[in-house]
Structure 1
């Protein structure tokens, strides 16, 4: 069976949001209200999850009662670009991933071999595609790991002072989200980007309307403090997204 993608190019709001601490954060009441609003306005709201999580996690998440199903997903810290079908299964968009696959060049085994002796890193148990990810102990971590990865022609990304991701050179959430938005024909002024950690930095600093929710990683707050396009919310998690939705008049635009 062939599944169709959703045209979100003309929707008044396209929310591109991180998950943990952002779309999945905040109070139960805030999540319920905002999720209900999205579900009631899917004719006007496009939804893109931009996450470090893998496709399996996102598929299971979107099956939960009340959690809105994303139209598209930029997953695996930007190394997966996919659409979500009516069975909640993520389908990679080959033409958007081709450059990512080429840059990665099946590097998983050599990355793991190169970092095997580095203290403070524990390989995550998820199934990797074009990345390798570790849980990081900041007290034991040896920063030589960053140099090792850069010498391999790859990128190292440390976020929330506890995660260490190895990615293809120049690939992260921001560039992959831009590639997807251009592919879909979504105009910049229809987008609201939301995040809370340093692995969201690249998508929050692209010049798109953005929000950093309360309780965000201090390094991210410092990095965006002078950017006019980024609103630093007073509310945590999805409450901060709702705050930015109201601030940018998206509620009214979607009701028009």
Structure 2
């Protein structure tokens, strides 16, 4: 039996049932009871900034997490019931990628690219430059052009693309190279003494892919974007990392595998000792 477990999950369309597919009734109740156990540390890993994470917790009656990795990996907070504490050591770690520059300093590099539209100021931060783009544009070619401009200035960056299906728009984040969800999660695991044997991550979209295809045991919920499922399967095959990848398909505890049900299914797959905890809750 594991004495400590780290459960990490994306929010929108992973833990939050805000996609077009149906949610299994009672799934969030089982999740809430599971993460309340003393063995479990809970981290939300989201593209949302702090205020929007807090809004989601209130709106969907979510458990308050122990940690929040926000802004697509550019911020980390120690959360819990008390005041959230900003983890400055993480920003110090990623700042070297841009040699003292901040996100606003990078905007002029891309001002002439017509397919890019800056997201609202609330969605920007020191190390996150975020754009909307049409889902009809050539996102791959656009990222290649942006990457070449950054490389020409010796700026180490990640370009993370995902799609908001509900809003029918593309989302593109320019981040320091080490500021992905993956590197933030690895930083958290290292400093809180977790490893791949007692950590599970759940996601659904393109900005979750770096974690999904990593050595960290990960689950794609059943409602994940079909393009993301295909990309993940190809990458997993290329690197022979099937042991750390699970695609929820439904059936666990009679649930459909979407959203929270998929998270629970993935946790049970990687950590079978948790099954009886969830089964007891389901019977209740």
- The residue number in structure 2 matching 1:3 is none
2:152 matched residue in structure 1: 151
SS at match of 1:82: strand
| 1:174-189 matches, cutoff 5 A | 174-189=182-197
Show the counterpart of 2:92.
98
Partner of 1:21: helix, strand, or coil?
coil
Distance 1:22 1:106 in 2: 33
Residue 19 of structure 1 pairs with residue 11 of structure 2: yes
Superposition deviation, residue 65 in structure 1: 6.4
Deviates more, 1:213-222 or 1:43-52: 213-222
Q: 1:229 aligns to what?
A: 244
> What's 2:29 paired with?
33
What is the alpha-carbon distance in structure 1 between the residues aligned to residue 277 and residue 27 of structure 2? 19
Is 1:67 aligned to residue 62 of structure 2? yes
| Offset, 1:146 | 3.8
Q: Which protein is richer in strand relative to its size?
A: 1
Give the Cα–Cα distance (whole angstroms) in 1 for the partners of residues 227 and 33 of structure 2: 32
Q: Give structure 1 stretches of 5+ with no counterpart.
A: 1-8
Contact 1:38 1:68 in 2 (8 A): no
Match of 1:131 among 114, 128, 131: 128
Number of aligned residues: 245
Q: How far apart, CA to CA, are the structure 1 residues paired with 2:269 and 2:209?
A: 21
Residue of structure 2 equivalent to 1:6 = none
Moved more, 102-111 or 43-52: 102-111
Q: Distance in 2 between matches of 1:215 and 1:123?
A: 28
1:241 lines up with 2:241 in the alignment: no
Secondary structure class of the residue paired with 1:99? helix
**Separation in 1, partners of 2:91, 2:277:** 31
Unaligned runs of 5+ in 2: 164-168, 250-256
* TM-score normalised per structure 1: 0.84
The Cα offsets for residues 186-245 of structure 1, whole Å up to 9 and x where unpaired, read as: 132111111111211111222122101113233432333232211101122111111112
**Which residue of structure 1 lines up, in the alignment, with residue 200 of structure 2?**
192
Query: What's the CA shift for 1:75?
Result: 1.2
Counterpart in the other structure of 2:216: 208
- What's the offset of the Cα at 1:106? 3.2
* RMSD of Structure 2 on Structure 1 (CA): 2.6
Deviation per CA, 1:120-178, whole angstroms, max 9, x where unpaired? Answer: 22211124131111111132466133433443422222123711110012331101101
TM-score normalised to structure 2 length: 0.77
Distance 1:150 1:38, change over 3 A: farther
Matched, 1:53 2:54: no
Q: Is the 8 A contact 1:120 1:138 kept in 2?
A: no
Shift of the alpha carbon at 1:110?
2.6
